[in-house]
Chains A and B, each alone.
Chain A
Amino acid sequence: MTDIYNRNARIIISTGFMILIFLLTFCHRSTESQIEWNKYPSIYPDYINVKVPYNIAPLNFKMKDKCSKIDVTLSGKKSSIRIKSGYKVSIPFNKWKKLINEQKNDSIVVSVAAFSDGKWQRYKSFSIYVSSDRIDPYLSYRLIEPGYEVYHMLSICERDLESFHERAIIDNNLVDGGCINCHTYAQQDPSRSFFHIRNKDGGTMIQADGKFRKINTRTDSTISAGVYGNWHPGGKYIAFSTNVIIPEFHSINNMRLEVYDTISDVVVLDIVRNEIIRNPILSGSKEFETFPAFSTDGKRLFFCSAKSVRMPENYNSIRYSLCAVDFDPVSGTCGTRVDTLVSSFRTGKTVSEPKPSPDGKYILFTSFSYGNFPVWHKEADLHLLKLSDMSIDTLAIVNSDNSDTYHSWSSDSRWFVFASKRDNGMYGKPYFAHIDENGKCSKPFLLPQKNPDFYDYFMKSFNIPELAKGPVPFNPLEVEKAFRSLKAEQVKYVAR
């Protein structure tokens, strides 16, 4: 009996040993049988050969192609990070910070091997170029469903670009469900900003060092309350467009929504005296004026202008030019001569959202076929006007087949952010692009998220992304308190 037991035990042990050897061999062989591809891996977000600031959060990504395992190495001169995981790559925060700081003005080389169909496949390595130009570390944006007319939950959030921390700064649930929009910093300074709350008790909320004022910018002499606005660098004025905005819905498949103005002007608000200063040159009855933006030195006012036409009959033939007028920061009045910087007659395209760079060298604007609402125009692209020679760069490396618009500069003029619908044509996401001292842009990269699947299941668009040098000094409860406690200050319409 004992022999039998011994024999059985031997059989079991030797069989187990053979299975173990087989498994080891099999595993060993599986890592050995590796296919080398001379192509980049298909990853999302696309961080292949992008340029990023050294203070950006880890660029987590995932494989777009099906795979069960990945083996990723991010290599620098001094250190490297190796990550073995499923289809997603989550880069350890501290290791990333160390690596990216070591690689300033250099590249991080990323090599990816993915396991699928029983084989490891190694892809061509790609680089992430690390710029020593620091990006303003905070980004605010409105989160909104890319709907038609109806909205329900709106929030303006602030994201720390150096980490994954995001917080709401304004929440429409706390202000009786009103539409909240156009959160705009004064020259990337978080201690001065404004936004609108559109409802019965709303108004334009102007914030300075966390203290709010509520202003009613509508007067009997202006078309509407202020809409698209821009701060004067001196901090005393805000230029606004006043518009009657009409949304319409297209019937054919590649178009969704058309938003147009039936009438519009630009006005200048003196926020110290609560006066809207009469500037006839910005409110001509024969023109539609909109999208005002002060020059960096505060001595000029840029805006978009088109000959007024009947709407909606001419909705697809109206084109806005980029214009400029002198501005006197003392009186708040404009000159009498309008210069056309980018003529729609010459380009055959319309201009929206001119944004001068903080160094005063460029104006970044959106160019598209017609109208003044580029979000739903697939062809909307960013263009860069060089003010020294008035040349226009069409930024081929930055733009996509879908709408690229709603841009904002970093305070050092080396980075800009914009909302792009390049991924699916519908949901806008914040992309960042670098611009070097010669005005050359790099391939943009998407705002990284902790979970690379985030964008798949997120059902909102990132609207009006704006960079800021720091966090805003308020939270939604403080906005609510100001909204409820402040009485709107009425502005006067005056001639100076």
Chain B
Amino acid sequence: MEDNKLLKYTEYLFTGLFLSGVFIFFAFFYNNHLHFEEETQLFLLTGDFFKAKMGLPGGFSGWIGQFLTQFYFVSLAGPLVITILLFLMQRVTYRILSTINDNRSFFIVSFLVPLNAMLIICDEFYPLSAVIGVLISLLAGWIYTTIAGNSRRFVAGLLLIALTYCLAGGSFLSLLAVIVVFEILSAARARKNRVLGKTNDTPVFRMLRIWQLLIYIIISAGIPLFARQFLVQEPIGLAYFSEFYYDLRIEVPKAIPIMFALPAILMIIIYFLPSREKIFKAAIFIQIALFIPAVIFGLKLWTNFRAEEIMKYDYLVRMNRWNEVIKYAEKTPPRNNLSLAMLNLSLAKTGTMGDRMFNFRQKGTGGLFLSFAKEYVAPMMGSEIYYQLGLVNASQEYSFESMETTPDLGKSVRSVKRLAETNLINGNYEVARKYLKLLERTVFYRNWAHKTEKYLYNEDLINNDPEYGDKRKMIIKKDFFFKTEIMEGALNMLLQQNPKNKMAFQYLMGFYLINKDLRNFMDRVPMMNDLGYTSIPVGYQEAIMYVVGLSTDNPMEGLPYKISSDTKLRMQAYASIYTTRDNAQELLSKEFSGTYWYYLHYCKVDIKNVK
């Protein structure tokens, strides 16, 4: 009795810890992945959208998966959804495993299925519909195992396999494996019980006949072929595995077959574990001892915290939380051009690019503008930069192309929203209306779409809007063919048209400084007068002092611009180390790595793409 209580509490405690761990992990350590998933899908709450999904094998799990993914918009809702799904998964797995071995000491084995599910969704290419699909097949498996009569079970098996294929797609293979293993192991157990003389208290299990199992296998092999021939004509791999388990359709990663096989494998494992009604305390401890390293190993294998960092930069930029980007960069400096470009954009948006740009390690103009790539991340982030600069067409192009390269071949709510905005600014109201209509059919963007619809054909409202009006003031009036290689010309044109475009000015100066093109930089310093600068940004002061230093013996005297005494003092200190010490770089890196001088002297940048 005591053991039973202990086991019950252990179960509660373990379940609680597992679920809390899942929730905390996704809420506080991996939340940006969820936001990223949410923004790269477009879920429409319409009958046509549902019908279109239901027309595909596994479409139901795809629909439910996308329906639930939209709640990732709310930071804590996503982790809650995942936690609940994994809990359900564990409970159903536990039920199935109990039919093979009802010794509760091995309950932890049933957590391996949700653990596996949790791990795979750490990779952004595995959608939530994969979890839903497996859950549906587990539910079908559980139902199957509860049916006692052989003929009823056989018919139910046929129906469940077909139904699971329709609703959940590829995981019908998982159900097939569960059914076959269940039949074989239950029969083996029944035989064993007969030998041990334990058949009095349990009904005798009669396995389906071999031909019946063969029919299951033939039906399972045939259903996708039938669907492919007459319903959905798609590549053969997709016909079996369906498109709702992995976003990149051209391949089926190993994790998918493993995920499908796992419930059946666990049934086999648990079959060989002792089934006596004794509670094995040691077994529980051993399982926990094995489970923890499995979690750690799994997280190491599946998580990508570098991507999480990029996604955090991206999320904060998407939400226009510019200061938070900078704060985050102070803690976690950008490790690649994607993050760096988002940081530089945030610096420009807060007007501090000239002051702080070189406080962070710059890696060339690739950290200012993101070149077009045929994938969805760089164009989406690049679209933010061009949008804020007023290069509305470029932003639109990047946004559209990002959507067209979304791995699951669907649409992206973030892109659609941006396209509505760019078309609104460009005065293409009917196209904007089309996108707004789509957003009106979403849960979280409906209000925004309704509000924005009022802007259609309302020139005054747009022109007086702080965001759209500003973009219209910045907008390019003289046409040219856009590409990132001609950004210098584009920025100069933006400034020529609107000398008060401070964003363009900061980017242009940043561009010259990064390229160590001090002549062009100096030529544009006087433009600051028109831009309302009350003091010269620190980075510019450093560059000016350097230029002056090259042409005069005493750069502290007769400076053409107002340089702060702090900059002068720092330059003196920098120069004395730079000119006198053999290990100058090492010494300067400690105190002066955030200066333009240090960048100029010691940072090698790739300027090959600059024209």
A residues near B, CB below 8 A?
145, 147-153, 168, 171, 173-174, 177, 248-256, 258, 312, 423-427, 451, 453-454, 456-457, 459, 475-477
Contacts and interface: CB of A to CB of B under 8 A. Distances in A.
A148 B400 contact: yes
B500 interface: no
Nearest to A256: B393
B409 A251 contact: no
Q: Is the interface of B mostly helix, strand, loop or mixed?
A: loop
Contact of B405 (A152, A250, A459, A475): A152
B233 A475 contact: yes
A252 B427 CA distance: 11
Q: Which 8 A-B pairs have the closest CB atoms?
A: A424-B430, A253-B426, A248-B481, A150-B404, A252-B479, A476-B233, A251-B476, A424-B431
Interface in B389-443: 391-394, 397, 400-401, 404-405, 409, 411, 425-428, 430-431, 433-434, 437-438, 441
B549 interface: no
A147 B400 contact: yes
A150 B401 contact: yes
A258 B481 contact: yes
Contacts of B234: 171, 173-174
Contacts of B426: 253-254
Contacts of B480: 251
**Interface hub of A151, A253, A475 (most chain B Cβ within 10 A):** A253
A145 B431 CA distance: 13
Nearest to B379: A150
A249 B404 contact: no
Contact of A457 (B401, B433, B438, B479): B438
Given A249-B483, A255-B479, A477-B228, A425 B394 contact: no
Contacts of A456: 434, 437
B193 interface: no
B233 A171 contact: yes
Contact of A251 (B48, B393, B430): B393
Q: Which of A147, A255, A424 has the most CB of B within 10 A?
A: A424
A197 to B, nearest CB: 15
A252 B235 CA distance: 41
16 contacts: A149-B374, A151-B404, A153-B409, A173-B234, A173-B235, A173-B249, A249-B394, A249-B397, A249-B482, A251-B478, A251-B480, A253-B427, A255-B393, A258-B481, A427-B434, A456-B437
A153 B475 CA distance: 33
Contact of A424 (B391, B425, B433, B490): B433
B229 interface: yes
Given A174-B235, A249-B481, A451 B427 contact: no
A251 B427 contact: no
A448 B263 CA distance: 49
Contacts of B551: none
Assign chain B's interface to a size class: 35 or more
A152 B431 CA distance: 21
Contacts of B482: 249-251
B428 A425 contact: yes
A477 B401 contact: no
Contacts of A148: 397, 400-401
B434 A424 contact: yes
A345 B425 CA distance: 37
A250 B481 contact: yes
A45 B253 CA distance: 45
B611 interface: no
A249 B438 contact: no
Nearest to A144: B404
A250 B431 contact: no
Interface of B: 44, 46, 48-49, 228-229, 233-235, 238, 249-250, 374, 391-394, 397, 400-401, 404-405, 409, 411, 425-428, 430-431, 433-434, 437-438, 441, 475-483, 490
Given A152-B405, A252-B479, A456-B437, 6 more contacts: A145-B404, A249-B481, A251-B478, A424-B428, A424-B434, A425-B428
B434 A174 contact: no
A251 B490 contact: yes
A255 B477 CA distance: 11
A251 B400 CA distance: 15
Contact of B401 (A147, A177, A248, A251): A147
Nearest to A246: B481
B237 to A, nearest CB: 11
Contacts of B46: 457
A250 B404 contact: no
Given A150-B374, A174-B234, A426-B431, A253 B400 contact: no
Most interface-central of A150, A168, A256, A453 (chain B CB within 10 A): A150
Contacts of B235: 173-174
A423 B430 contact: yes
Contacts of A451: 48
Contacts of A454: 48
A148 B392 CA distance: 15
Contact of A312 (B229, B478, B481): B481
A171 B232 CA distance: 11
Contacts of A149: 374, 401
Contacts of B374: 149-150
A118 B167 CA distance: 44
Nearest to A426: B431
Contact of B479 (A250, A426, A476): A250
A153 B250 CA distance: 13
A130 to B, nearest CB: 30
Contact of B393 (A249, A424, A427): A249
Contacts of A151: 404
Contacts of B391: 251
A424 B438 CA distance: 15
Contacts of A145: 400, 404
Nearest to B411: A459
Most A CB within 10 A of own CB, among B394, B411, B431: B431
A254 B480 CA distance: 13
Contacts of A475: 233
A251 B481 contact: yes
Contact of B229 (A248, A256, A477): A477
B404 A147 contact: yes
Most chain B beta-carbon neighbours within 10 Å: one of A152, A177, A451, A456: A152
Contacts of A171: 233-234
A177 B250 CA distance: 9
A250 B394 CA distance: 8
Contacts of B409: 152-153
Contacts of B430: 423-425
A73 to B, nearest CB: 27
Contacts of B238: 173
B270 to A, nearest CB: 40
A23 B425 CA distance: 49
A312 B483 CA distance: 14
Nearest to A153: B409
Contacts of A253: 392-393, 425-428, 475
Nearest to A478: B233
Nearest to A253: B426
B168 to A, nearest CB: 21
B574 to A, nearest CB: 41
A456 B49 CA distance: 12
Nearest to B49: A457
A39 B234 CA distance: 49
A149 B401 CA distance: 8
Given A148-B400, A150-B374, A173-B234, A252 B428 contact: no
Contacts of B479: 250-252, 255
B180 to A, nearest CB: 30
Given A152-B405, A152-B409, A459-B411, A250 B393 contact: yes
Nearest to A258: B481
A39 B472 CA distance: 37
